[in-house]
Each structure stands twice: as C-alpha cells, then as structure tokens.
Amino acid sequence: MFVRWESQRTDAEAERRLPGLTRGGTIRTFDAPEAMGIEFLEVEARSAINRVPGESLPFNHTVNPYRGCTHACSWCFARPTHRYLGLNAREDFERRIVVKVNVPERLRVELAKPSWKRETIALGTNTDPYQWVESRYRLTRAVWEVMIEARNPGSVLTKSPLLTRDIDLFRELNEVAGFQASLSIPSLDEYAWRANEPHTPHPRKRVEAIAELSAAGIPVGVLVAPLVPGINDSPEQVEEIVRLCAEAGADSIGGLGLHLKGEVKEIFFDWLRAHRPDLVDLYEDLYRRGAFLPKPERDRMGRMIARARDKAGVGDTGWREGIRRNRERARIERAERHRGAPDERTEAGGIAMPLQRQSRLF
C-alpha cells in the first residue's frame, strides 16, 4: 500500500516559492541530527521517467525521487544539475534537497502507457535514492512497488545500507521482471572516506549490506568508484575492497576512474587544496586536457581492477557490454527512423516533447 501524501501537499504554503521553478512548493525542515541546517523542497513532478541522452551508459531510462544529496561527496558528478533549478552546485546541492512527492503516482501513469516498452529503469544514477531523506518520505520504496505492479525491470546504485529495508520488494521485483542492486564503495580507508564522502554510511556497513542482499538471493554488484589517483587507487586498497565484497557475496565488481566535468572540477580542486595540497600539481597535469583521466591512467586502473577480480574469483559488472548493446540498439532505432518510422515522443506537463530533452525535466 502506498503512503498518502495529504500531509505534504505543495499548496499548503503556496507563498513560499522554490527558486528556478514555475511551480510553488513547500519548504520543510526536520528536527533530526542528520537533517540539521537542511531544507527539503517539496515539488510535484511533471514526469517521472527520464530519457538518458546519448549512448554512453548501459541503460536508457532513470527515475530520480530526489535532487541534491546530503552525502556531500566532493567529487559528485551530479552537482551541476542543481543549477537547472536556480540553485548552486556547492552548498545548495548538499543542503537544499528537492523531494518529488508525487513521483510514484506519475510513474504509475507513465508505465501504463501503451508506448512504454518495459525497459529497465535505473535509480541512483544522479543522486542517491537512499540518502537520509528516504527514511522520512519512502518515495524510493513506493517506486519499487509501482514497478512490481507494472512488472518492469529495475536497478539501483547507492552508497547506503538503507536499501536493505526494501529487500522484500527487491526479491519480488526480481521474480516478476528482473532486478539488480549495486553498492558504490570507493575506499575502506577511514580518512579518505570521511574527507571525500562526509555524510555517507561507513563503507564497511555497505559490505555488510552486500552480504544481506546476497543471502536474500538478490543479484548484487559493486562499483569501486570513483578511483581517485593518489587517494584510493593503490592495488592494496582495491584488492581489499574486491576481496571483502566477493566474500560477502557480490556477483560482479567493476571500477571507474574519477571524471571532473564543469563545475565539479573547481569544487574538487578546492577540496584538494584544503585536504591534499600535495596532489594539486598531479591533478592539474592529469586533467589539463579535459574531464577524464588520460587513457594510460584509465587502462592502468582497468588492469588493477581485473587483477583484483581474478584473485577474488568474481566477475565483471558487464558495464562495457551493456554500453555496446545500447549503442547497437540506438543504431537500429536510427535506421528505423531513417526509413520513415515516427520519432518516439513522451508527454511532460501535457506537452509532447522529444525524449532527449526529458532528462532536464521534473
């Protein structure tokens, strides 16, 4: 049964407006240690499913119950998305969290459309759906309930063991449609964890969550990501993470190097100057040509992860294979459109809009 949202109606305080949005919204605070100094901005979503532009990811659709993240990771690639709302990518991203109070209802409507093809929907690809706010609103849990009703496959990526609360739904969704849980564990080092991911649960608690998910029969993977040169990229550190996760029951483990797009680069360099000034010159060299690590460095990290997997006897995440399949499907769709097939479109706020633009909509 779904939570009713009468107590969170967005017309209750219509005079309080969320910057950057045409719709009004309620601004809430909670008297809890984890929520001190944080505002939760309730809005009504115009759509639930986002179409992922491009072909560089192994999935095409996402749902984000929340925007912004109290985990406050210094390197978070999602920070600039807060600017779409008229908010900043620094303090606002961490302390002004957008809550889409009607996302389960919107999702139910969109999954029922005849044009929907029951493609996998990924959660946790922008901001963490199991950050602290989920313990109050339970929107992520409601999303899984809707997906079970629609028999639609899904996946989640998170840094929080709070996801174990929803094991009952993961098991049911996996049975009726397919489901994959993944935990992000970049480091087990106490200093690196607390300095870079200041408000995330302890990484060893995430390893415990892997064991709980695996024991329940839930497919579970691990991303050792981001791999950050000079901070968490030593073979010894990576091998320990991979070994412990494999022993806990992880089915697959992969890794990704740090990328610093747009304003995230400036934010992370500020963190370096404050915490690791000895690495500033190295990073200026590594990222002088763009947002991604040079290919030799990426290859080094790939070999390191592969060796650690081989030692632990665990498989790859299949991320690159998923991207290959996605690109092949996109090639086929382009060919069909070239032959005169109509473009697939989606509705948002009553207006038909091209799917590639939907990623910026609520």
For residue range 37-52, list pLDDT tens digits in order: 999 999 999 999 999 8
Geometric angle at alpha carbon 93, from 87 and 98, rounded to 5°: 80
The predicted-structure confidence for 86-119, as pLDDT tens digits, reads as follows: 999 999 999 999 999 999 999 999 999 999 999 9
Rg over CA atoms, the chain: 20
| pLDDT value for 242 | 98
> 39 in helix, strand or coil?
strand
Quickly list DSSP for 208-268.
HHHHHHHHTT--EEEEEEEE-TTTT--HHHHHHHHHHHHHHT-SEEEEEE----THHHHHH
Maximum Cα–Cα distance across the chain: 60
Domains of the chain: 45-63+103-278+289-333 (3.80.30.30)
* Ramachandran angles phi, psi of 254, nearest 5°: -135, 175
Per-residue pLDDT of the chain (362 residues; tens, 9 = 90+): 333 333 333 343 344 445 434 455 799 999 999 999 999 999 999 999 999 876 656 679 999 999 999 999 999 999 999 998 899 999 999 999 999 999 999 999 999 999 999 999 999 988 999 999 999 999 999 999 999 999 999 999 999 999 999 999 999 999 999 999 999 999 999 999 999 999 999 999 999 999 999 999 999 999 999 999 999 999 999 999 999 999 999 999 999 999 999 999 999 999 999 999 999 999 999 999 999 999 999 999 999 999 999 999 998 865 555 545 555 665 665 566 667 644 433 333 222 222 222 222 22
Residue with tokens 């892997």: 210
* Ramachandran angles phi, psi of 342, nearest 5°: -70, 150
The whole-angstrom separation of Cα 57 and Cα 55 is 6
Give the global pTM.
Answer: 0.83
Cβ neighbours around 154 below 10 Å, total: 26
Which of 146, 170, 135 lies closest to 156, judged by CA? 170
